[in-house]
């Protein structure tokens, strides 16, 4: 009987591994194609399916072009990095403060406020694009001023993303706060010296999600920076390359840009994956 169970378990494991390998190949195939196309020579023409997937000659021309004077890729990359860093820092600070207040303090209208924000978060953000555009335009934060405008919009609504972080703070015993308060510590001191050091996973989770949103943003970024190439982020700029008349040539440069855009995010997730998972699971324990 034990031998039969071992055989069934071995077969089940083998099937599971085969399925996972197949899924991994399907998932990694587009990334492999992106890398191969980025290494294709700029002047190499198309052909059959095999010729399209495997370049006849490998070249770094597309990567060289990105950093040449003919391209604004470095500026676009810098714009994206600037927006993402500012949003990650400011949005993390705001959402941590809001989440701590909702988790630890009791005040009139608290429940209504949480429910109202939760309902608002269910509506797609692009529904407010027209209103936000005209509002930003009044303050000169479109086109040439698109970068601070995009930072402002991302940070202004960050408090509505309190739900997961508040759930994590709820798992920290309130007895610690009460003991510190009895000893004379202010709420600010409790927050910065006790809660923050114990909340590293959720802080990393908040910073990563805040960094990813502007890093991958296309719709709102293209809307705010419309017609002013110096204010483009990489998503908008690379999309413009696809719509040029020289599609065959610029596609390889588009792929090379996509690889360079993916590198920072990949490194961040590889280094901080442990804390990211802890933050998500910890914040999901309580609402």
- Which is more confidently placed, 245 or 126? 126
Q: What is the rounded average pLDDT of the residues 33-40? A: 84
Q: What is the mean pLDDT of residues 247-270?
A: 83
pTM strictly above 0.85: no
Neighbouring CB atoms inside 10 A of 37's CB total: 20
Task: For the chain, report the end-to-end CA distance as a whole number of angstroms.
Answer: 46
Average pLDDT over every residue of 150-171: 86
Question: Residue 90's closest CA among 150, 143, 145?
Answer: 150
Radius of gyration of the CA atoms of the chain, in A: 24
% of the chain with per-residue pLDDT over 90: 17
Query: At what angle are helices 2-38 and 247-283 packed, to 10 degrees?
Result: 140
70-114 pLDDT, tens per residue? 888 999 999 999 999 999 999 999 999 999 888 888 888 888 888
pLDDT of 280 over the 70 cut: no
CA-CA distance, 204 to 182, in Å (whole number)? 30
């Amino acid at each position: 009987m034990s031998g039969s169970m071992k055989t069934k378990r071995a077969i089940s494991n083998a099937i599971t591994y085969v399925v996972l390998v197949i899924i991994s190949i399907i998932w990694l195939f587009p990334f492999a194609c992106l890398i191969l196309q980025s290494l294709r020579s700029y002047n190499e023409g198309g052909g059959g399916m095999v010729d399209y997937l495997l370049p006849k000659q490998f070249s770094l021309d597309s990567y060289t072009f990105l950093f040449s004077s003919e391209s604004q890729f470095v500026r676009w990359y810098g714009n994206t990095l600037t927006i993402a860093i500012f949003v990650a820092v400011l949005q993390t600070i705001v959402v941590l403060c809001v989440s701590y207040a909702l988790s630890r303090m009791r005040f009139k209208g608290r429940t209504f406020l949480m429910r109202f924000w939760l309902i608002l978060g269910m509506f797609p953000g692009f529904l407010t694009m027209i209103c936000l555009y005209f509002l930003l335009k009044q303050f000169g934060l479109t086109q040439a001023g698109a970068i601070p405008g995009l930072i402002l919009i991302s940070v202004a609504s960050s408090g509505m993303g309190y739900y997961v972080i508040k759930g994590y703070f709820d798992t920290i015993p309130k007895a610690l706060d009460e003991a510190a308060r009895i000893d004379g510590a202010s709420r600010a001191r409790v927050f910065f010296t006790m809660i923050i050091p114990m909340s590293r996973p959720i802080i990393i989770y908040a910073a990563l999600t805040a960094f990813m949103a502007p890093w991958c943003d296309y719709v709102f970024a293209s809307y705010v920076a419309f017609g002013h190439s110096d204010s483009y982020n990489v998503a908008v700029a690379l999309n413009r390359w696809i719509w040029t008349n020289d599609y065959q040539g610029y596609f390889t440069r588009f792929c090379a840009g996509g690889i360079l855009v993916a590198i920072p995010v990949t490194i961040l997730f590889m280094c901080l994956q442990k804390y990211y998972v802890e933050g998500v699971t910890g914040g999901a324990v309580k609402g």
